[in-house]
Amino acid sequence: MNVGFIGLGRMGRPMASNLCRKGFRLLVNDVNPAAMDELALLQARPSGIAELAAGSDVIVTMLPNSAIVQDVLTMAEGVFAHARPGSIVLDMSTIDPEMTDALAAAAQARGLGFVDAPVGRLASHADRGESLFMVGGEPGHFERVKPLLEAMGTTIHHCGPVGAGTRTKLVNNFLAVASCQMNAEALSLSQRFGLNLERTLEVLYGTTAVNGQLKIAWPAKVLKGDVAPGFTIDLAHKDLSLIVEAANAARLPMPMAAAAREAFSAARARGYGGQDFSAMVDAACDQAGVAKARLSD
pLDDT digits (tens, 9 = 90+) for 132-162: 999 999 999 999 999 999 999 999 999 999 9
Question: What are the pLDDT digits (tens) for 253-278?
Answer: 999 999 999 999 999 999 999 999 99
Domains in the chain with CATH codes: 2-160 (3.40.50.720), 167-288 (1.10.1040.10)
Mean per-residue pLDDT, 79-86: 97
Burial 74-103 (b: 16+ CB within 10 A, else e): eeeebbbebbeeebbbbbbbbbbbebbbeb
Q: What percent of the chain has pLDDT over 70?
A: 100
Q: Which residues are catalytic?
A: 169
CA dist list (Å): 248 to 155, 237, 244, 251: 30, 16, 6, 5
Band the pLDDT of 74: cuts 50, 70, 90: very high
Mean pLDDT, the chain, rounded, equals 96
What is the pLDDT, as a whole number, of residue 297?
75
Residue 84 one-letter amino acid? R
User: Is residue 73 scored above 80 in pLDDT?
Assistant: yes
pTM (2 d.p.):
0.92
Mean per-residue pLDDT, 217-230: 95
